[in-house]
Structure 1
Amino acid sequence: MESTISNIDIGIVISYFLVVLFIGLWISRKTKTGEDLFLGGRTFGWGIIGLSLFASNISGSTIVGLAGAAYTTGISNSVYEWMSGIPLIVAALIFIPLYLRSQITTIPEFLQLRFDRRSQKFFSIITIFSTIMIETAGALYAGSLILQTFFPDLVMWQTSLVLAVVAGIYTAGGGLKAVVYTDAIQAIILIIGCGVISWILFGKLDYDWSKVLAAAPEGHFSVVRPMEDEGLPWPGLLMGVPFLGFWYWSTNQYIIQRVLGARDIQQARWGVILAGFLKVIPLFIMVFPGAMAISLYPDIANGDAVFPTLVTKVLPVGLVGLVLAGVISAIMSSVDSALNSSSTLLVIDFIKPIKKNLTEKDIVKYGRISTLIFMVIAALWAPQIQNFTGLWDYLQQMFSIIVPPIAVIFLVGVFFKRGNGDGAFWTLVIGTLAGIALFVLEQFDLWHLHYTMNVGLMILLSTVIFVAVSLLTTAPDAEKIKLLTYRRELLMDGFQNVPWYKNYLYQIVVLVIIITYILIWLW
């Protein structure tokens, strides 16, 4: 597809780059301590937290992928978006007060407090590797591919480098505060840009939903798919999606770091619930446009070309630039969050314990240096992914398989008070090795279950390992872990004396009703 981007649209995109860079550098002037760099000084309110969670989660490949899948195979994969509210509710109910009361900077730190240093280091290493080599490099690679559909003359490595450098500079300078403030702007641009496409497309169909349904193949608008469905079979909807969501929204440093930077528990909980409501929006502005395109452009051969086609053929001059800025926003939000979370893990979990006498100035210095190093690694690796397309798909699948042991030691660990350090560590080790073994069997065509169903099986295995090893070894100190495990008073922590309309529990009820309605509607 040849580029049809006007100079006005290009000017809008360049202006966006400059504004984001300026904001990041301006914030960097006030970044003096490690807490400023890694947690924004613990000053974030609910609006900033919710918008940043949404923006960091939506990558450029997400936008293109959701529209493409809705066009080619149906909307079943949209459940990863609007059902995110469920794990976010779990985070708000249980994990946010545990994390914030612990005053941790990284999620692996919580494992050290609840279990021991072994689990902290193991989890931190896995997280850093996956965040840089999969999340960051993957976002740069996907972002470069997307931009090449609009600008065919772009060179992959140069595009990846520019995206990495811009995100790396303001992230290294301003830290998490620069990330969340630019994320908030990016989230708004993204929603407006994609929302405009949806509205114009729906207008071309006379705002008649029946015309959308009539053009789609049978079952295209059903999220509960048959057992043999390659995209998302119905058992995977129950066995895999909830646990993958829990890991992502409750234990992933890449996501949860802005929650750790909340000024208090109220703001954190409100922010997480706001993110749950925002995650419903992609169904309408990213998924449905792909489905509507079937009626208007039935001859698109490649699903990845659906979104770029809609942008260039549907939008007028000026709005193309806005939507492109939204796509770049999504790319940058993923990259800046990944860089900041990885540098936080390296400094707090590894450098700080070794160098006991670090000053705040030293911590900031190491944080900025590690951000820039990770930026270079991700930028160098991103173009190489095109040479390992098959392998990359397998890595993503393996990544989803090794999630279960992590999910289990957090989710079971806060309720099963007999769970100890040995149980957590060996669950991580054996569970990860079992995941790798399963991955190898798949490559030799000896295992054929969909990866979402594999997640359910691995959750069961990891739970058995965790409980069995914990029961066979020394019990943890009950007093030491008392504040690190579930207790009923956590549910109202921070909300004892607020009016009902500010109570996050009522907001949760509304969110559950919306998710349930969508599930029934798209059944």
Structure 2
Amino acid sequence: MNATTLLTFLLITGTIGVISWYQTRKERLNTIVGFFLANRNLGFIAVGSGLLFANINTVLFVGENELVYANNMSVIGWGMTSVAAMLIVSEFIMPIYLRTGIATTPDYLERRYDSSVKRIVSLIFLVNYIVNLLPSVLYGGAVAFNGLFHFSDHYGISYWSSIWILVWIMGTVGGLYCLLGGLRAIAVSDVLLGAAMFTGGILLPWFGLRYLGHGNISEGLAVILSSKTEHMRVMGGPKDSVPFSTLFTGMLLVNLYYWGTEQYIVQQVLGSRNLAVCQKGIALACFGKILSPLLINIPGLIAVHMYSSLHNTAEVFPRMVSDVSPPVFVGYMAAILFGATFTTYNAGLNSASTLFILNVYKPWLEKQQRMADDRQLLRVAKRFELSICLLAMFIAPFIIFAKGGFYNYLQMVGGFFSVPIFTILLVGFLTRRVPPLAAKVGLAFFILSYGFTQTVFPTGLHFLHVLAILFVITCVIMLVIGRIYPLPVPYVPVVSNVVDVAPWKGRHVWTVALLAMMVGVYVLFTLASRA
């Protein structure tokens, strides 16, 4: 283990931690709004950075670079369709959330349907966080750190043991950070990590190309452009990890769910000062997603020309960083990975406790005719966070046995939770008489049908196409139920503005510019692969 690398990592990580503490030391974190929503006082840079780093974590660093190395650049579709999805969410969904003054996305479902739908969706979210999101983030972080610092080799322990140890170290530290700082501390560290990530995004490809070209960047670029160009394909075929056709079916639906419904993502935005700040923050996050391939895809492309084969392809990103970079930069990248892991992990913990306290525990107390003040609720919230921390740390190491690639596995499992929730939300947005029964039947049908197609009776279709087909069928079922058993009184949205909801005037210009950049990424790589 290189001492310079370790010292650089500790210095940068410690500096970010100290600055985050200093900036939040006077924040009121003894209230629900203060701890969970940062007192609804986040600026657009904090909102955009929070969105970006709640999404960009070691799962992407490890998983997408692995798919580029093993397959091709078609995995870039997840990030690029995110841009279109975020812009749709910014224009149509976030104004609804901020006008209604909700604290969690299931709050809207309660107002549109009923409290039982809210509880069901809240429990689905919690199961997703406990078995999918939190363990995957810890596992990805453990894989990355073992690859960067070579713990298993340095200490002479098995790879399996090193993953267990690293998962528990990161889970413990991340849990403590979230418990002490709340959403505000997460947002401050996100801003600092955002600046560090863009610097790393420029330097890492530079080091990689220089390594390929034996000190000459242009020669390294020539190596990529002249051989193994099939790995540069962004328009995946039917047998690729991400077929191009899925961008317009299930992938768009998953991203609309993710950016417009997923609690740990939406919670970054609900802390905005107003709608204009919210929309500016989303635009900033879109720009970050357009630049993110520099770190989550290009290293895997460079690694194709460095390693003829790897026993564990999940280690391609950390191994490439370690092999091409000077020790100081390896420590710098380790600090970014460490921060990115904690950002998503802590956002997930914070949102899980928000859902549990506001949508499960507090309604249960009220049903028992018992009252609790904010201090008592926060005490229970922190105990709940500790409990799911422990569960996630126990589950995370077993992801090593996932088949079909780490990232594809996570997206496939996420399908059980994502599109079903988005489906009932969308029908709720677009109709006024569809009853709660339709939402419950829709959720049950979608989840059971998807599970059946992925386990008992495989269809042969890509799971994203299956999600799109089930989305259409579920919408039809809900509309039919709405026609047979309509609500006696049509739903009327209740406006409860807790912040200013005047939209950002310049949003349309930036929307066009961001969409043009998104298309430009596809054009650039398509031309390069054919050069």
Q: TM-score, normalised by structure 1?
A: 0.89
Distance in 1, matches of 2:136 and 2:93, equals 28
Residue 84 of structure 1 is matched in structure 2 by 82
Residue 416 of structure 1 is matched in structure 2 by 431
**2:59 and 2:137 in contact (8 A); partners too:** yes
Comparing 467-476 with 239-248, greater Cα deviation is found at: 467-476
CA RMSD of aligned residues (A): 2.5
Cα deviation for residue 447 of structure 1 reads 2.2
Report 1:98-117 matches (<5 A). 98-117=96-115
Comparing 387-396 with 168-177, greater Cα deviation is found at: 387-396
* Residue 387 (structure 2) aligned to one of 373, 383, 396: 373
Matched, 1:494 2:530: no
1:244-296 CA-partner distances (Å, limit 9, x unpaired): 10111100001110101111111111111111110011223331232133345
Q: Which amino acid aligns with 1:108?
A: P
Matched, 1:364 2:360: no
**1:24 and 1:178 in contact (8 A); partners too:** yes
Q: Which amino acid aligns with 2:388?
A: F
Report 1:79-478 matches (<5 A). 79-149=77-147, 150=149, 151-152=151-152, 153=155, 155-204=162-211, 205=213, 206-207=217-218, 209-218=221-230, 220-227=231-238, 229-298=239-308, 300=310, 302-356=312-366, 357-386=371-400, 396-442=411-457, 446-475=458-487, 477-478=489-490
Cα deviation for residue 494 of structure 1 reads 1.1
Comparing 513-522 with 316-325, greater Cα deviation is found at: 513-522
Comparing 503-512 with 362-371, greater Cα deviation is found at: 362-371
Cα deviation for residue 222 of structure 1 reads 2.2
Residue 488 of structure 1 is matched in structure 2 by none
Q: Which amino acid aligns with 1:382?
A: A
**2:8 and 2:331 in contact (8 A); partners too:** yes
Q: Which amino acid aligns with 2:354?
A: T
Cα deviation for residue 300 of structure 1 reads 4.8
Cα deviation for residue 23 of structure 1 reads 5.1
Cα deviation for residue 28 of structure 1 reads 6.2
Distance in 1, matches of 2:386 and 2:209, equals 44
SS in 2 for 1:224: coil
SS in 1 for 2:130: helix
Distance in 1, matches of 2:304 and 2:401, equals 32
Distance in 1, matches of 2:125 and 2:96, equals 20
**1:136 and 1:335 in contact (8 A); partners too:** yes
Residue 489 of structure 1 is matched in structure 2 by none
SS in 1 for 2:460: coil
Comparing 427-436 with 468-477, greater Cα deviation is found at: 468-477
Matched, 1:508 2:504: no
Gaps of 5+ in 1: 485-491
Q: Which amino acid aligns with 1:120?
A: K
Distance in 1, matches of 2:4 and 2:140, equals 25
* Residue 8 (structure 2) aligned to one of 12, 17, 20: 12
Cα deviation for residue 25 of structure 1 reads 5.2
**1:29 and 1:174 in contact (8 A); partners too:** no
* Residue 70 (structure 1) aligned to one of 68, 72, 80: 68
Distance in 1, matches of 2:21 and 2:403, equals 36
Distance in 1, matches of 2:8 and 2:223, equals 34
Comparing 383-392 with 507-516, greater Cα deviation is found at: 383-392
Tell me the number of residue pairs that the alignment of Structure 1 and Structure 2 aligns. Answer: 502
Cα separation, partners in 2 of 1:207 and 1:53, compared to 1, 3 Å: farther
Distance in 1, matches of 2:110 and 2:356, equals 15
**1:28 and 1:175 in contact (8 A); partners too:** no
Cα separation, partners in 2 of 1:293 and 1:142, compared to 1, 3 Å: closer
Cα deviation for residue 453 of structure 1 reads 1.0
Cα deviation for residue 478 of structure 1 reads 3.4
Identity %: 23
Cα separation, partners in 2 of 1:343 and 1:406, compared to 1, 3 Å: same
**1:197 and 1:310 in contact (8 A); partners too:** no
Q: Which amino acid aligns with 1:334?
A: T
Cα deviation for residue 479 of structure 1 reads 5.8
Cα separation, partners in 2 of 1:461 and 1:483, compared to 1, 3 Å: farther
Residue 47 of structure 1 is matched in structure 2 by 45
Cα separation, partners in 2 of 1:245 and 1:60, compared to 1, 3 Å: same
Comparing 125-134 with 231-240, greater Cα deviation is found at: 231-240
1:418-473 CA-partner distances (Å, limit 9, x unpaired): 3332222221122112122222324xxx4211111111111111111221111111
